[in-house]
Amino acid sequence: CARERECARESERVCARERESARERERARVRESASAGDRESEGERVRTREREREGERA
């Protein structure tokens, strides 16, 4: 039972690491597209994200 809990914790750690690397890849892809002349839509995404954050605070 204790070993099962340890396994669950380990898989949780692995999941977190995978999510993090997926986030990294996404960030890298966004940077790629931004450097490929897609800066305008990148700025638009940032503004949208900030607007959403404002809505959350309100």
Cα–Cα–Cα angle for 48, 49, 53, rounded to 5 degrees = 115
- Which pair of structure tokens corresponds to residue 4? 């099962």
Task: Say what the pLDDT of residue 22 is.
Answer: 93
Q: Are 33 and 42 in contact (CB under 8 A)?
A: yes
Question: Would you write out the chain's pLDDT as a tens digit for each of its 58 residues?
Answer: 678 888 889 888 988 899 999 999 999 988 887 776 655 666 788 888 888 888 887 6
pLDDT at res. 58: 66
Contact 42, 30 (CB under 8 A): yes
Q: How many domains does the chain have?
A: 1
The domain in which residue 9 lies consists of 1-58
